[in-house]
Structure 1
């Protein structure tokens, strides 16, 4: 069982080795060969400083697939002369973990440290994550965890307090191009692609170095007498599916980008993020609900028609379904992006909620309470109420707040859209109220 977790696991038996994927053949042999993570590996970056000072601590490598998390962990073990052990949280249970820790303890007793690389560490539950803590604290293991999920959400605070989180970034096309050139040098031939098709190939990888090398390996296997153009390439290869988890951080990142694009009055950016979410498999009904929320929260009474536009688009989607109904949502999105913006009603609502919590159960003043019974009338309920329709200008100016509460100012309309007119009305009533005491 121990062999499953050792660095030698997966090697072919003695004799002729089996075929290895290009991505495996091209694994960097030193940290200096790792492409695209200078913000982590550079001389003044966290890992560069740790290694320079011989003070490597436990780490959580957070980043999308195919950016070098496993490679960096392996190379760190080599750089520090630690025994490398790799496990996956998907396939490892408590009994296997105990065996790994016991072997690391024996190794530690013999003067050799262990770098334990845990792939998909966020898959371990809280109890399993807690199991690492004593072994990290006494130096039995140096933990390097890899995750594609936000550690703040998925990892225990106790574990995070004992490890530094390093963020690895998706590879830019310039980094992917360096990978392609390195592959061409190793294979001693150029990709049979035109310059434009080469750019398309980089886009297909979507920032994933492993995916790119798999694509390169496929293209190199083709027997083509002439270079392929983008159209020919697209017929033979499928674009890598975008990274998108409807329940994960990327979901919240993209809806945040969509919402902020609308708030920022940029219809082009709003449509782009809307399309990205749809391409990722997002439920259009979720988007319809969020778009309606944007109308209420960020446009409000600056354009009272915005909310109606969203509700009509939502209803249209329900009647038409996908994909036709998504156009109605897109139209509502454009309307929102170009509408005048105001969060005055939203801020007023939050102010009112805060004041309601602060003032507790203060009763309404007696003059605006109903008096359906004789006893209530005798207690003064409704006494002195001024019927606004009978007042000059249809406004009595009476106090409607609790008697022991100072008047609250919550709603401040902006000088944009329809709220400009509401500002005039608010000022008008304020002057009348002051005039009538």
Structure 2
């Protein structure tokens, strides 16, 4: 219940600028526009349960409130951080009573991913029978954090981090609310938007800090930096952003884009990632995506890893940056990776086929009598140092798992294998004549 003097209490700028209509929400027109999915739902007045997935400060709470208003639903907000089963039961009971009087309820659950699986299951009957329209907000990937039963009853909508245009629109609105332009030169204004890192709420908090300083002279970037702090990058080493950035690094390396790879490497370090995790991933990349196209790649990766361990941070990070550049500019091949996977499949499919007798040692007389080692051709004694004998199990056709690419050192390996294949064919031809 509002207090007597609430109207006189100071309100944060973010609260004063909270949009009153969906069309006023910046940066999310792909969902809220007249022809966009949520916009069409509101126009029809038929809202279904949904999940809003997006970064902090992109408008999830505001959208939920406006959806309730636009569809004439009672707005029941809850935070999964501060609420439990008892709070949910009270909400469901109030919603049930409203429903008997013809009034619907929009239950908004902020940080819904923080509810455990059993608590999430508790929503199901009330969502199923329409007692509540559930709108959940999450900063985490719903595929990982929410159970399948709840996901199947909700549409998932992805909200975007606010781009530069959207942040500038917020700045303009803030200046309108304050009644004057911010004391920033053009470069500082651009830096202010960059400091917010896509978070509209944080941007408005920065504006309040500038306003509180009471400066009347236009500040440059340095003066702005001295006054306010840049928002820490959104990065959780145990969550999706961790995997998104390492994926971006890996794919930039695979695409031989040294500059993009360095950027994602720097982003991970700026987010507080453990450089040892990056070193491990770089070593994996060396054997998975470079491999024998450049046999030195794995040595470079291991050397960079070891150098980091010896030097520590920040000096050791330069060694990892060098590895990033080496791997990005190295010739690429996944032939070893593909060959191993193909050989693994063949090993599973062929079960326990024994090696051919001629390549088995015969340490006892009995084994020699049984034919162990009989007919084995010692390759070093052959004319070309290559016997061309069969080394696959009897009854299994010869396989070609490894197919080197025509890049880097594998080009030479390709020539070598072609040479062996020619000798093998010639031997087969001679054997057939005999």
TMscore range, shorter length:
over 0.9
Deviation at 1:305, TM superposition (A): 0.5
Tell me the equivalent position of 1:4: none
Tell me the equivalent position of 2:334: 343
- The answer to whether the 8 A contact 1:113-1:140 is kept is yes
TM-score normalised by L of structure 2 = 0.97
Query: 1:84 aligned to 2:75?
Result: yes
Deviation at 1:385, TM superposition (A): 1.0
Partners of 1:44 and 1:364 in 2: CA distance: 66
Query: 1:163 aligned to 2:154?
Result: yes
Deviation at 1:363, TM superposition (A): 0.9
- Could you tell which deviates more after superposition, 44-53 or 143-152? 44-53
Partners of 2:32 and 2:279 in 1: CA distance: 43
Partners of 2:102 and 2:418 in 1: CA distance: 80
Correspondent of 1:276 among 267, 273, 276:
267
Partners of 2:371 and 2:84 in 1: CA distance: 73
Q: 1:96-245, aligned counterparts within 5 Å?
A: 96-245=87-236
Deviation at 1:19, TM superposition (A): 1.4
Deviation at 1:105, TM superposition (A): 1.1
- The answer to whether the 8 A contact 2:45-2:70 is kept is no
Correspondent of 1:384 among 357, 375, 387:
375
Which SS does the other structure have where 2:107 is aligned?
strand
Query: 1:429 aligned to 2:410?
Result: no
Query: 1:411 aligned to 2:408?
Result: no
Which SS does the other structure have where 1:414 is aligned?
coil
TM-score normalised by L of structure 1 = 0.96
Query: 1:361 aligned to 2:352?
Result: yes
Partners of 1:286 and 1:92 in 2: CA distance: 36
Deviation at 1:13, TM superposition (A): 4.6
Gaps of 5+ in 1: 1-7
- The answer to whether the 8 A contact 2:46-2:71 is kept is no
The superposition leaves residues 162-197 of structure 1 with CA deviations (integer Å, 9 ceiling, x where unpaired) of: 110000000001110000101111111110111111
Deviation at 1:233, TM superposition (A): 0.5
The superposition leaves residues 262-301 of structure 1 with CA deviations (integer Å, 9 ceiling, x where unpaired) of: 1111111111000000000000000000001111011110
Tell me the equivalent position of 2:278: 287
Partners of 1:225 and 1:156 in 2: CA distance: 53
Query: 1:298 aligned to 2:289?
Result: yes
Could you say what the CA RMSD is over the residues aligned between the two structures, in angstroms? 1.0
Tell me the equivalent position of 2:30: 39
Gaps of 5+ in 2: 429-434
Q: 1:65-76, aligned counterparts within 5 Å?
A: 65-76=56-67
Over 3 Å counting, the alpha-carbon distance change for 1:361 and 1:15 in structure 2 is: closer
Partners of 1:324 and 1:301 in 2: CA distance: 30
